[in-house]
Amino acid sequence: CHTLSALGWSGMTGPALDGIGDRAGDRASAPSDANGAEYIIQSIRHPQDYYVPGYNGVIMPVHDSTDDNTNTYMSQSDLIGIVAYLCSQTASGDITDSTCGLESWQAENNTLTDPAAVISELQALSDPYQE
């Protein structure tokens, strides 16, 4: 569905995800959004809550964590992995340019220095979205 050049995806219905790590902080405009990472979490768990101005694409399915017998099931660990990956997708390719706003997002040689801390922070952000 989505376009993401890093993975060779050229979707036609979903929004382009190239550089989402740069844009996430700007998109987290709702007062309830803690940061860009939470915006991405909310966009996956509750995709109809916010649309980027000008987006006229299809209505995205809700990916919940309650029923693993559905084709829209997404575990919390999968959600965390996807969000971390999307936060790393910057226009420059340098993950330190990410605007996801994670306190634990520190990198050296374009590699996270404490991935466990990032996972823990994303876990805390995504807990309220587990249904």
pLDDT band (50, 70, 90) for residue 29: low
pTM of full prediction above 0.85: no
> pLDDT at residue 97 above 80?
yes
Q: How far is Cα of residue 23 from the mean position of the Cα atoms in its chain?
A: 11
Contact predicate 2/17, CB 8 Å:
yes
Q: Rounded distance, CA 35 to CA 16, Å? A: 20
Q: Rounded distance, CA 48 to CA 4, Å? A: 21
Integer-rounded Cα radius of gyration of the chain: 14
Burial class (CB in 10 A: 0-12, 13-18, 19+), 112: buried
